[in-house]
Chain A
Amino acid sequence: MTTLKKSDHAAVPFWRDERYLKIIIQVVVVVLVVLAAIYLVRNLLTGLEDLGIPLSFKFLGIESQFDIGESLIEYSRTSTYARALLVGILNTIKVSFLGIVFATIFGIIVGIARLSKNWLINKLAAIYVEALRNIPLLVFLIFLSTSVFHKLPRVNEALSAWGWAYLTNRGIYVVWPQPSAGWDVYKWFLLGSFIIGLIVAIIKYREGVRTGRMPLYWLWGMVVFVVLAVVSWFIALFIAGQPMYLDFPSLQGRNFKGGKSLTPEFMAIFTGLVVYTSAFIAEIVRAGIQAVSKGQREAATALGLSGFQTMRLVIFPQALRVIIPPMTSQYLNLTKNSSLAIAVGYPDLFAVGSTIINQAGRAVEVILIMMGVYLTFSLLTSLFMNWYNKHTRLVER
């Protein structure tokens, strides 16, 4: 019908012709949106100008004048605002990355426990998941900070693990290797050992693929690496002196010094994110495993695979395909949730940013920067996970 009409030129006026209509609607929408944007932004700019603080990013080059509690890079009160923001960004990356790794491990364990045939373990995992999923993360974080990490023993009553580690409300201190005289030589040996270990593992893997009997290729690689590393330690010791020494934490003055330390603020946001997210990941893992048909499990059992082998070789690889997309969004959530660090005093991007807003009075600029950075994080995470998703799919098919 319509085609007939369209060939009939005079019949359809242009405002009812779908081709024109489409363009008109789009133009109208775009113009409206752009006008609204112009209107709002104009208000913003004139408003800022009236206040005497016009939009400008020049403040980033000014000395910040405040100190930050923990930083992965050199930072002092004479550093610029830009550097303060960088400190915040790196702290966010640190807690998000470690959080994602540990939440995944923890979540998988709980998810599998949730499917355990052992009634008690199953129920404990269920309680864990249901308890955590239904309370707000922020409440949990503030609880962790004020009622757990700040209530650890005081510094002079520190809980000690045979002098190797200390637990206090100023932080957790663990013995940690530090490079010394021979490190410059040894680090090359270490790199070499790692590469050789990797090569051995690859050779063994190829061999396994060829013969059809897969050896424990990763174990081979690890053993070679460890043996070489130990041997070269003594060589380095002989050539250039001891490569590393163990730095034991000890109470010096008012605080512990030496070793590796984690502040209670970091521990609060880190454990909070890990525990909270792992409950969600556990549910995803459980759903993924349950999505693998029962026949697969029975077939694997019939082949004589052990329970662990069935899980590792048959169930999990298939479950992974179901798991990855929701897992991606959990990783994104974790990264975004790390902005709640401000509630526990950990100087992440958002906390540093809001300090700058106050000290420099640059609300609009700092918020724009923060949003840009978080958007980039989200984009990068989802790009990586999409790539990984494709990758696992290709292997499976």
Chain B
Amino acid sequence: MTTLTPTKDVLPPPTERSTVLGWMKKNLFGSIGDSILTILGGAFLVWMIYTLIVWITTKAEWAVVTDNLQLFMKGQYPADADWRLWFLLFLLAVIVGLMWGIAIKRPTGAGWTLLIVPIVLAAWLFTLERSSWWRLLVIDVLAIIGYLLGKRYPSKLSRITYLLALLYMPIVILIVRGFGEDGFLFYVPTNLWGGLLLSLLLAIFAIVFSFPIGVLLALGRQSKLPAVKGLSVLYIELIRGVPLITLLFMGQLMLPLFLPAGITIDRVLRAIVAMIMFAAAYMAENVRGGLQSIPKGQYEAADAIGLSGWQKMVFIILPQALRAVIPVLVGQFIGLFKDTTLVALLGLLDLLGIARGVLANPNYIGRQLEVFTFIGLIYWVFSYGMSYGSQRLEAVLGVGER
């Protein structure tokens, strides 16, 4: 016992990380091979950064981006309906703020980043002399208000917050689309949707509408009825076996022919239908994963309390299974968001379609690098942001740990 008690003679373990040199020796120059790799990699990195900086500061001409910013963001969406998009952004800010306050309770690095991004964007817009710059700051203010409220009254607000979060995507669809000839929320025809707005809407439509179909298909695949099971499997494997672009083409070229003479649906809607068909098959597989993760005991317990088959599914199994697949759904949403670019090949003006259109403009010939850097960055920020955010949320909430 006494020998184990630390005395002044026994040194603490060496703290290698304490010196820069020591850290570098361990992590960069551990052996000869390591050193060579480090030097090569370092040289490559320096060269990359140098070329990038030279390009950004001297060669790049960003007018192509700043001149067409509106086109990139919302295509031809009418200006007098702009407030709807801002409203949706504000709503999102409040929801995120509330959730942050309720679930995480403290400002973290990610939280600060989320707050800084609008400020930076606002500053950028301000220098471009766009009048909308202050609206970005409103986003931050609303998010902070939401955060404070959520922290103060977590129990009272949690139910409505989660409800809002769940309903957010359907709300987006309703408000962006609008109804009626004119008035407050006038109908905006789909051919005016464009840019990033269209990309996001396509992904939102696909995920929202594929969800119920996907759940049904997943249940069908689990079913003990051979015909139901067979049809589900047939659909799922058929869709998953072909590229999305063939489905989109089918939607564009064949869907009008499938419908009875006289009924036509427009191009955007046809792309949406194809995206939903596609997403449903993958959704079914994700939900099936969730169903399979439910331990057998749950089924048996439900049987034991005398629930019927449907009751068992609806009240016991599905709620748990869906909870378990939420993280996967975020992943699927990101995938769908990236896949929406394919509609550009059909001539729709999503973010990529707009980019190709802008590049065809004689004033901006040869500005590919700028445009692709810009839209690449947008896609990257959205995808990375969403996946990072969902990972953090998972870690904090413990969702999906089953």
Residues of chain A touching chain B, judged by Cβ–Cβ distance below 8 Å, are 22, 25-27, 29-30, 33, 40-41, 43-44, 46-48, 50, 116-121, 124, 130-131, 133-140, 142-143, 146-147, 336-337, 339-340, 342-343, 350, 354, 357, 363-364, 367, 370-371, 374-375, 378-379
Contact = CB atoms under 8 A, between A and B. Distances in A.
B63 interface: no
A146 B224 CA distance: 52
A131 B380 contact: yes
B184 interface: no
A27 B225 CA distance: 10
A264 B380 CA distance: 26
B107 interface: no
B119 to A, nearest CB: 23
B332 interface: no
Contacts of B380: 131, 134-135
A290 to B, nearest CB: 16
Interface in B47-62: none
Interface in B14-65: 27-28, 30, 34, 37-38, 41-42, 44-45
A139 B345 contact: no
B116 interface: no
Given A22-B224, A40-B258, A46-B261, 11 more contacts: A30-B227, A33-B231, A118-B28, A118-B30, A120-B45, A134-B387, A135-B338, A138-B341, A340-B345, A367-B246, A371-B246
Contacts of B28: 118-120
B241 A350 contact: no
B160 to A, nearest CB: 32
A107 to B, nearest CB: 18
Chain A, interface SS category: helix
Contacts of B376: 135, 139-140, 143
A139 B241 contact: no
Most chain B CB inside 10 Å of its own CB: which residue of A27, A139, A336 = A139
B246 A339 contact: yes
A44 B345 contact: no
Nearest to B29: A118
Contacts of A136: 338-341, 352, 379
Nearest to B44: A124
Contacts of A354: 249
Contacts, number: 147
B246 A370 contact: yes
B238 interface: yes
A119 B27 contact: yes
B238 A375 contact: yes
A119 B380 CA distance: 24
Given A47-B257, A48-B257, A374-B241, A30 B41 contact: no
Contacts of B339: 136
B241 A375 contact: yes
B382 to A, nearest CB: 8
Interface in B358-381: 368-369, 372, 375-376, 379-380
B242 A374 contact: yes
Given A139-B352, A350-B245, A43 B258 contact: yes
Contacts of A43: 257-261
B88 interface: no
B344 interface: yes
B41 A121 contact: yes
Contacts of A27: 227
A2 to B, nearest CB: 11
Given A43-B258, A135-B383, A357 B253 contact: yes
A130 B384 contact: yes
A367 B250 contact: yes
